[in-house]
Structures are given as C-alpha cells and as structure tokens.
Amino acid sequence: MGPGTGAACAITLNSALTPEQQRIYQDPLVIQRLIRDTRTVAIVGLSSDPQRASWFVASYLKKEGYRIIPVNPKADRILGEKAYRDLAAIPGAVDMVDVFRPAAECLEIARQAVAIKAKSLWLQLKLVNIEAAEYAAKSGLTVVLDRCVKMEHARYFGRLHWAGMNTEIISARKARLA
C-alpha cells in the first residue's frame, strides 16, 4: 500500500553521497515538496530512444500529469512534446530542471537553470557535481543530487513498494487521501 508519514524516517540507501551531503541534497521532506509543487519539468538529455532511462522517467512523469519539456539538440519532438536545444530556448517558465547529462556538463546546466529562473535543479541517479549543486543552491534553487525523480515519486506514491523495493518508509499512520 501507499505511504503514511514517510518523512519521519531516514532514506539512506543507494547513494554515493556522504551522510552530510545526503542531509543537504536528499532530504526526504524537500523531495516530497518538490514532487507535490512541481508542474513543469525540463529534462536535459532526454533521449528519443524509448528504451533509455531518461525516456522511462519522462513517460512516467508525463503520465503522472507533469508537463515535460525535452531538452535535446538532436531531436524535434519527444513523447509528443517539442524539444529545445538548450534551457535558454524554452519560451515559458520551468519549475524543475532534471538532468541526464555527464557530471562534467552539470555546472553549465546549473548556470542555465539559474538564468531561466528555474525553481529546482535535480541531477539523476549516480550524477554528482557539488560545484554545480552549490552554485544553484546559492542562487536560490532547491537542489537534489544522485536520485531518480521517477523512483522518488514512486516511493511516496506506493508504487516502488509494489515492485518489492525497500522504500525505507516506516509509519503506523493511515495513508491520507488528497
């Protein structure tokens, strides 16, 4: 079944970060707030190959009702959405910048995310660039590192549990309806 409080317990598994970095960049309360408040997600490095991880994440988020904006200079449309060559080319406001590019590119992506006034910067699983994270955080963005948006959404909506995964959520409180 789905989660109860969730945020009361530590979510610690599968991270390359130190415990201190986890406290800053993987706070379960912050992640839950992002999942609930975000509407528009620009996905930098979204592949047009339906069997790539980025495509899995994007199709999941789209199905969950988020507006996804592909950022990929080699594609015109992905998942039925117009693709942009970079973040600066996106005409409207962006809530979250979700990144599927190598760590070395992340500082430049963080600069662009700050420039377009995105509210959050999220580097996907195994992606860690502390310089980019600190730059974005200093500019007021909420930053998450080394986590997957799809896995985190599924963690708090009970679906990761259905797949037999360890959500680390422990609670005796009745799950709440929105």
Partner 1 sequence: MQDGPNLPLLCPGKVVPSPRVSKDADPRRFGFETRMVHAGHIPDAVTGARAVPIYQTTSFVFDDTEQAAQLFELKQYGNIYSRISNPTTAVLEERLASLEGATGGLATASGMAAQLVTFLALLQPGDEIVASSQLYGGSITQLVHTLRKFSIGVRFVDPSNLGEWEAAITPKVKALYGETIGNPRGAVLDIARVAALASANGMPLIVDSTMATPALCRPIEHGATIVVHSATKFIGGHGTALGGVLLDSGKFDFSRYPSIAAPSPAYHDLRFYDTFGHYGFLMKARAETLRDTGACLSPFNAFLLIQGLETLSLRMERQSASALQVARFLEGHPAVAWVAYAGLPSHPDHSLAARYLPKGAGAVFSFGLKAASGEEGRAAGRKFIEALQLFSHLANIGDVRSLVIHPASTTHQQLTDEELAKGGVSPELIRLSIGLENVEDLLWDLEQALPAP
Distances (CA, A) of 55 to 7, 107, 115: 28, 23, 26
Candidates 58-66, 96-104, 108-116, 133-141; binding stretch for partner 1 (CB under 8 A): 58-66
Candidates 62-70, 81-89, 113-121, 129-137; binding stretch for partner 1 (CB under 8 A): 62-70
Q: Map the footprint of partner 1 across residues 89-108, applying CB under 8 A.
A: none
Q: Assess contact for 6 and 169: CB atoms under 8 A.
A: yes
Report d(CA 65, CA 130) in Å as an integer.
Answer: 30
Distances (CA, A) of 57 to 7, 63, 144: 23, 10, 16
Q: Map the footprint of partner 1 across residues 72-91, applying CB under 8 A.
A: none
Binding of partner 1 by 29 (CB under 8 A): yes
Handedness of CA 141, 142, 148, 151 (dihedral sign): negative
Residue closer to partner 1, measured from CB, 1 or 104: 1
Give the shortest CB-18-to-partner 1 separation in angstroms: 15
Which residues bind to partner 1, rule: CB under 8 A?
A: 1-14, 28-29, 32, 35-36, 38-39, 50-53, 56, 59-60, 63-67, 125-126, 148, 151, 154, 156-178
